[in-house]
Amino acid sequence: MGKVAAGVAALAACAVAGVVVGRRVRSRRKWKRVVGVLRELEEACETPVGRLRQVVDAMAVEMHAGLASEGGSKLKMLLTFVDHLPTGSEIGTYYALDLGGTNFRILRVQLGGRRSSILSQDVEQRPIPQHLMTSTSEDLFDFIASTLKQFVEKEENGSEPSSVRARELGFTFSFPVKQLSIHSGILIKWTKGFAIEDMVGKEVVGLLEAALVRSGLDMRVAVLVNDTVGTLALGHYDDADTVAAVIIGTGTNACYLERADAIIKCQGLLITSGCMAVNMEWGNFWSSHLPRTSYDIDLDLESPNPNDQGFEKMISGMYLGDIVRRVILRMSQESDIFGPVSSRLSIPFILQAPLLAAMHEDDSPELKEVDKILKETLEISEVSLKVRKLVVRICDVVTRRAARLAAAGIVGILKKIGRDGSGGVAGGRSRSDSKMRRTVVAIEGGLYTRYMMFREYLHEALHEILGEDVAQHVILKVTEDGSGIGGALLAAANSSSSVDNSSRYEGIKKSKDEKMAMIPSFFNNRSRDLIFDPFFSFDPFRDFPMSNTAFISTRIDWKETPEAHVFKADLPGLKKEEVKVEIEDDRVLQIRGERSVEKEDKNDTWHRVERSSGKFLRRFKLPENAKIDQVKAGMENGVLTVTVPKEEVKKTDAKKTIEISG
């Protein structure tokens, strides 16, 4: 019996051992599957410096394409019409209205005339009542104007406003807008929960100013900008070496200062400072060099805007947490290391960026913050320390990729403007040839300012891409409240009463010869002739604008046929009486015109309606064989066609013998 009992015990022990071993084997297999998912993620998210430099080059090339023509690139490269940034010499009190979500802010900023000298600032934030977000444009702006009037009266303590000038306002409107001028733009569509149908397709500043008139508030909208341009303005006010601005928060965008002669699609536009701030809308950037994973593809397909904002979906705070959620969900489906699959893992965007950062930066020995967020947010309980470390690693992989790609985007901007030490896209200079200037990039957004690991990874990549010799000249400087203070600063810089601004357009009164003499200074003192010779360069459209404050940007096609040179100009809304075609001395074809300001006074909502108006001038040097006495011009359906016949080319013998003297 004793032997039998011993045998049974031995068999039981073997069975127990077999169960234990079996469990261990199954556990190892499950863990191996999870590790496989992690390895796959790590490989797909790799961003070696070589790949980052490919992204840099792609960004710079897309910037060139977006500047050349509308729709020429995924980057919109929107003209902001901001060609004067605050310098620190601004004096006085200016206001800002920041409307970009379900709240709006009003600011009053007093400037002291020295760089970074903001003597005082007052801010008030108000929620927009829910019903106004779907009401009418008049209801919305009457509410804002009324609040603005109360704010002004409170801050001015009932004192009489200055008789010297009207109050001036910078309007930061962070919705999709087609900018028409520095102080006008048409709303393309609403986002962020707004659905005011009668405002889509309308000029937003006109609606605001009409409401200001109805409220009895004497205030002029000096500028219409978005938050990124406001950040650039604030950065430039603090530091004159600021050339670009980047926002990396819930969303992301960038803008920068571009040379006027590099913005091919804005020909005909007067830019007196020689440069303009360009709103890149870089969230829509895309390149095959971006390291895309299956999680990115699924996120994009399930988003409200598939195949759009690809770059933003890889680097901004709105999406990073959701990528991590998708990875954890797949791991839960592959293995039970997280326990039963939590239903909360299937809720999009449940894992916000602040939670991602908190888990990633949890430095407690037991990773208590990770455990807390898994329990409270995802309803995943009782996971081992080993699994919590796995979650931290997932956060690290996703965040590191985002930060390094953001760094590549910044260097792409620097490359485009020749500030990366390489001389630009086609500069042809080596790094040793380039003398680096101090370069400042203003930066805002919680993902950068509050997420330490993201910030460190971005800096690390910036130094890897540029190299230490160049990177030491590039400074990322945090600004605060570009959308608010920046708007007020731009109102000051573009004030109708500022000394700098009042002298910007003195060229209107100058003689024709004086105007021509002014032209080279608009383009960084490059010596160029006002008259363009279309046979001199590959680009037949680099001519120069008149010195006038108003303009109509017109595009002209030029082609050569066997019989003539043909010029075609789009002049929508102009009558033939408003257009002049002239031949000047030395075979210069001049096409010019003017559309007067059209005003409409009404007694109801609209007090004034203004359409695009102003002058244009295009001049072309005709070739020697042009028959200038037989030039013909015709206009039909808003298209001007100018035909310049050519002299017949005399035919010569196919073969001719040349005598040699001597």
DSSP string spanning 583-650?
A: EETTTEEEEEEEE-------SSS-S------EEEEEEEEPPTTB-GGG-EEEEETTEEEEEEEBPPPP
For residues 387 and 337, the answer to whether their CB atoms sit within 8 Å is: yes
Asked whether residue 569 is domain-assigned, the answer is yes
pLDDT of 602 > 80? The answer is no
* C-alpha of 24 from chain center: 54
Q: Which helix (H) or strand (E) holds 242?
A: strand 242-248
Segment 160-186, tens digit of pLDDT: 554 446 789 999 998 888 888 899 999
Grouping H, G, I as helix, E, B as strand and the rest as coil, residue 232 is helix
Q: How far is CA 342 from CA 73, 306, 332, 333, 391, in A?
A: 42, 27, 8, 10, 15
- Which member of 57, 142, 227, 362 is catalytic? 227
Residue 122 falls in the annotated catalytic set: no
With the C-alpha atoms ordered 622, 567, 180, 278, is the resulting torsion angle positive or negative?
Answer: negative
User: What pLDDT does residue 431 have?
Assistant: 45
User: What pLDDT does residue 23 have?
Assistant: 52
The three-point CA angle 531-533-536 to 5° equals: 140
CA distance 205 to 207: 5
Asked whether residue 113 is domain-assigned, the answer is no
The three-point CA angle 525-499-596 to 5° equals: 80
Asked whether residue 623 is domain-assigned, the answer is yes
- Length of the chain, please? 662
Report helix angle 385-416 to 2-44, nearest 10. 10
Grouping H, G, I as helix, E, B as strand and the rest as coil, residue 231 is helix
Least confident of 3-12, 61-70, 330-339: 3-12
Least confident of 114-118, 131-135, 369-373, 545-549: 545-549
Which of 284, 228, 249, 237 has the alpha carbon at shortest distance from 409?
Answer: 284
Other C-beta atoms within 10 Å of 541: how many?
Answer: 17
The three-point CA angle 181-182-188 to 5° equals: 60
Average pLDDT over residues 458-481: 95
**To the nearest whole number, what is the mean pLDDT of the chain?**
81
Segment 638-653, tens digit of pLDDT: 889 999 998 875 555 5
For residues 95 and 168, the answer to whether their CB atoms sit within 8 Å is: yes
Domain total in the chain? 1
Average pLDDT over residues 101-119: 85
Least confident of 71-80, 602-611, 621-630: 602-611
**Residue type (1 letter), 104:** F
CA distance 474 to 104: 34
Asked whether residue 564 is domain-assigned, the answer is yes
Average pLDDT over residues 254-261: 92
How many CA atoms are closer than 13 Å to the CA of 229, on its beta-carbon side? Answer: 33
Average pLDDT over residues 19-30: 57
How many CA atoms are closer than 13 Å to the CA of 185, on its beta-carbon side? Answer: 24
pLDDT of 550 > 50? The answer is no
User: What pLDDT does residue 597 have?
Assistant: 52
Q: What percent of the chain has pLDDT over 90?
A: 53
User: What pLDDT does residue 217 have?
Assistant: 92
Provide the pLDDT confidence category of residue 82 given band limits of 50, 70 and 90.
Answer: very high
Least confident of 300-304, 452-456, 587-591: 587-591
Segment 180-231, tens digit of pLDDT: 889 999 998 887 778 899 999 999 999 999 999 999 999 999 999 999 999 9
pTM of the model: 0.71
User: What pLDDT does residue 27 have?
Assistant: 59
For residues 222 and 233, the answer to whether their CB atoms sit within 8 Å is: no
CATH, residue 631: 2.60.40.790
State which residues form the domain around 636: 556-596+614-645
Segment 434-443, tens digit of pLDDT: 578 899 999 9
Provide the pLDDT confidence category of residue 655 given band limits of 50, 70 and 90.
Answer: low
pLDDT of 580 > 60? The answer is yes
For residues 94 and 492, the answer to whether their CB atoms sit within 8 Å is: yes
Average pLDDT over residues 361-372: 95
pLDDT of 26 > 60? The answer is no
User: What pLDDT does residue 488 have?
Assistant: 94
Q: 158 or 149: which carries more pLDDT confidence?
A: 149
CA distance 577 to 363: 75
CA distance 157 to 166: 17
pLDDT of 13 > 60? The answer is no
Which of 602, 612, 597 has the alpha carbon at shortest distance from 213?
Answer: 602
Asked whether residue 479 is domain-assigned, the answer is no
Which residues lie across from 252 on neighbouring strands? 248
Grouping H, G, I as helix, E, B as strand and the rest as coil, residue 431 is coil
**Cβ-proximal residues to 84 (8 Å cutoff; 6+ apart), any chain:** 272, 273, 493, 494, 500, 501, 504
User: What pLDDT does residue 270 have?
Assistant: 59
Provide the pLDDT confidence category of residue 520 given band limits of 50, 70 and 90.
Answer: very low
Q: 528 or 341: which carries more pLDDT confidence?
A: 341
Average pLDDT over residues 611-623: 67
- Which member of 32, 154, 178, 192 is catalytic? 192
Provide the pLDDT confidence category of residue 506 given band limits of 50, 70 and 90.
Answer: very low
Residue pointed to by tokens 């042009």: 626
CA distance 432 to 426: 16
User: What pLDDT does residue 517 have?
Assistant: 32
Which residues lie across from 92 on neighbouring strands? 111
User: What pLDDT does residue 429 have?
Assistant: 40
Average pLDDT over residues 12-38: 66
User: What pLDDT does residue 2 have?
Assistant: 63
**Residue type (1 letter), 120:** S
Average pLDDT over residues 444-470: 96
**Cβ-proximal residues to 641 (8 Å cutoff; 6+ apart), any chain:** 566, 567, 568, 633, 634, 635
Least confident of 1-15, 206-220, 377-391, 556-570: 1-15
Q: How far is CA 316 from CA 245, 365, 373, 580, in A?
A: 15, 29, 21, 51
User: What pLDDT does residue 657 have?
Assistant: 66
Other C-beta atoms within 10 Å of 250: how many?
Answer: 16
Provide the pLDDT confidence category of residue 586 given band limits of 50, 70 and 90.
Answer: low
Looking only at the bridges linking them, the beta strands covering 103-112 and 177-181 are unpaired
Q: 586 or 246: which carries more pLDDT confidence?
A: 246
**Cβ-proximal residues to 27 (8 Å cutoff; 6+ apart), any chain:** none
Q: Which helix (H) or strand (E) holds 257?
A: strand 252-259
Average pLDDT over residues 314-331: 96
Provide the pLDDT confidence category of residue 505 given band limits of 50, 70 and 90.
Answer: very low
Provide the pLDDT confidence category of residue 54 given band limits of 50, 70 and 90.
Answer: very high
Instruction: Write phi, then psi, for 126 (nearest 5 degrees).
Output: -135, 140
Find which of 69-78, 234-243, 422-431 is predicted with most confidence, using mean pLDDT. Answer: 234-243
Provide the pLDDT confidence category of residue 20 given band limits of 50, 70 and 90.
Answer: very low
pLDDT of 342 > 50? The answer is yes
pLDDT of 17 > 80? The answer is no
Quote the longest CA-to-CA distance of the chain.
135
Other C-beta atoms within 10 Å of 475: how many?
Answer: 15
Which of 487, 549, 490, 497 has the alpha carbon at shortest distance from 166?
Answer: 497
User: What pLDDT does residue 114 have?
Assistant: 78
User: What pLDDT does residue 285 have?
Assistant: 95
Which of 373, 318, 376 has the alpha carbon at shortest distance from 348?
Answer: 318
Which of 254, 299, 300 has the alpha carbon at shortest distance from 279?
Answer: 254
Residue 192 falls in the annotated catalytic set: yes
Provide the pLDDT confidence category of residue 593 given band limits of 50, 70 and 90.
Answer: confident
Asked whether residue 631 is domain-assigned, the answer is yes
User: What pLDDT does residue 499 have?
Assistant: 38
CA distance 571 to 22: 81
Tokens, residue 165 = 């000038």
| Terminal CA-CA length for the chain | 135
User: What pLDDT does residue 305 have?
Assistant: 84
Average pLDDT over residues 62-91: 90
Asked whether residue 620 is domain-assigned, the answer is yes
**DSSP-assigned states of every residue in 447-467:** HHHT-HHHHHHHHHHHHHHH-
Asked whether residue 44 is domain-assigned, the answer is no
